[in-house]
Structure 1
């Protein structure tokens, strides 16, 4: 896709701004307006760039355009005619940014602190780190029965504090709340060979950490977009080929991942077409104990990866 396949809308303060920090928000189908409003309320000295990755939703596009127009913060809305995917979309976002630091935020995030952007700006001004991850939480995520499994899995493996994340800095990094210095991103962009969902952010970190340190801080945002068990399983199904791409490119790194070791072990288990669907069915069963469902879903994910790794 070339630049001719995108349309731009800038608000009145965009042209004259000289921000040091660019906030980059991709979305496809999800509504980023609440996040944009939350960031704009802080009135920090930043710019915001939103990218619609081929949603083809005119109502949503109009809503985003109106919100960008009303924002005090310099903002640009980039609308792509067709979906290009998570990695390429984020690379496209970065091409529109003017700041020397890029803060990637997922559209379904909500800052946990009213000075969220101020903390990021202070970090850029005081330390200007090559890479920093602020972490994410479930503090503001509503309690819903249909998303209980995802909540439990995220709480146990993703919503980690600084000390835990620093033990494996590249593995515990996500584009949901990620700061990258411009020169670092220019040297190491996201791999556009990834498609579908998952692993493009961790693979990026595996490459980047060879050249720059990854700083982990506590400046969290809540992941509001928890999925139903069925949606989560579908995302894992999409991610299997991406995991195989990571394993092929970084075999020594993934060799220590529990998901890789379990996947390797499951390759030796006969009749996967029988037990793999049973694992999925149990993970989707709302009446089953949540802890057992979590174990089944993690095992199902490893079984999917077992099909793709060598």
Structure 2
């Protein structure tokens, strides 16, 4: 037991380990056990630090602790009594890491390559980049009707190859599969002023890109945690305040983003608060054509962001 805010459990391999890479996994609500099982198949010079960010799920916490005990890799399980949020939780994970490089992985990810960790370690050993993003895919997700909208939108804008991501390197920086060198993170941690969902990792990428190059490579992991349309809309609603924070901090960078330009255009549209809910309702209508639903959801997000530009 450390401070009352967190409880620690270390497996037998943890105390004597000298890892090169620290794999940092926060979770709240999502089940991290499939990811831990996949990582257990790759014994290498890495450690795992997993954070329960106030899930308030004793049964899941007990399963994570039991799995941690059995992992062949050195592992520490950090359990928080209350939720700290995406930025603060990841900063806390770093405080427990011992490697010279950190690999941030979301708990709903699953490596696409059986040499996933070893490929990251090879990159660290050969070129030791300040920051690198491996990309993500939908290869291992079973299609479900209620997730069709998220799947279509993610395939269009998120599941991009390294060459495409490299055109705007700071924009495609997500903590779903992100390598960061220790000295870089010591200089630029996540901004704990962000609350709720969205933009804290992209904003971090904007700050880091001013000082270091961001490398994009092909070492993807599958995003298992696709949402239904209603959950997507709720997350976009949460993210509007975070988008405003990014606009205030990085106006020149954000001005080049399509989401900003559309939001700026919609800001001039009259009666926005009357027609915005109609966009949402259409995006939620599962009987409507998928392409038009995706357009409606993107416009709904831009109409929310119009309040911030």
How does the TM-score come out when normalised to structure 1?
Answer: 0.98
Name the residue aligned to 1:50.
Answer: 50
Instruction: Name the stretch that deviates more: 163-172 or 37-46.
Output: 37-46
Written as runs of structure 1 = structure 2, the 5 A alignment for 1:77-156 is 77-156=77-156
The equivalent of 1:177 in structure 2 is: 177
What residue in structure 2 maps to residue 217 of structure 1? 217
Please state how far the C-alpha of 1:287 moved relative to its aligned partner.
0.4
C-alpha distance in structure 1 between counterparts of 2:147 and 2:5, whole Å? 36
The residue aligned with 2:164 is 164
Distance in 2, matches of 1:118 and 1:258, equals 36
Cα deviation for residue 268 of structure 1 reads 1.2
Return the offset for 1:273: 2.1
> Which residue in the other structure is 1:74 paired with?
74
- Residue 290 (structure 1) aligns with: 290
Partner of 1:18: 18
Distance 2:226 2:170 in 1: 23
Q: Deviations over 1:161-214 (max 9, x none)?
A: 011001000001110000000000000000000000000000000000110000
Following TM superposition, by how much is the alpha carbon of 1:269 offset from its aligned partner in structure 2, in angstroms? 1.1
Distance 2:160 2:169 in 1: 11
The answer for the alignment partner of 1:60 in structure 2 is 60
What SS does the aligned partner of 2:84 have?
Answer: coil
Per-residue Cα deviation, 1:241-298 (whole angstroms, up to 9, x for no partner): 0000000000000111111111111111111221000000000000000000000000
Partner residue in 1 for 2:273: 273
Counterpart mapping for 1:187-202 below 5 A? 187-202=187-202
- Cα distance per residue 1:120-166 (max 9 Å; x no partner): 00000111100000000000011000000000000000000011001
Question: 1:232 corresponds to which residue?
Answer: 232
Structure 1 unaligned regions, length at least 5? none
Which consecutive residues of structure 2, in runs of 5 or more, have no partner in the other structure?
none
SS of the residue corresponding to residue 4 of structure 1 reads coil
- Aligned-CA RMSD value: 0.8
TM-score, structure 2 normalization: 0.99
Find runs of 4+ consecutive structure 1 residues off by over 6 angstroms: none
Query: Which stretch has the larger CA shift, 96-105 or 3-12?
Result: 3-12
Size of the aligned set, in residue pairs, is: 308
1:5-35 Cα distance to aligned partner (Å, 9 max, x none): 1000000010000001000000001110110
Rounded Cα–Cα distance in structure 2 between residues aligned with 1:308 and 1:255: 12
1:221 offset after TM fit, Å?
0.1
Q: Distance in 1 between matches of 2:206 and 2:116?
A: 26
Displacement, 1:304? 0.4
Cα separation, 2, equivalents of 1:4 and 1:246: 33
1:4 is displaced (CA, Å) by 3.1
Q: In structure 1, how many angstroms separate the alpha carbons of the residues matched to 2:291 and 2:282?
A: 11
1:308: Cα distance to partner?
2.5
Quote how far apart the aligned CAs of 1:42 are.
1.2
Cα distance, 1:3 vs. partner? 3.8
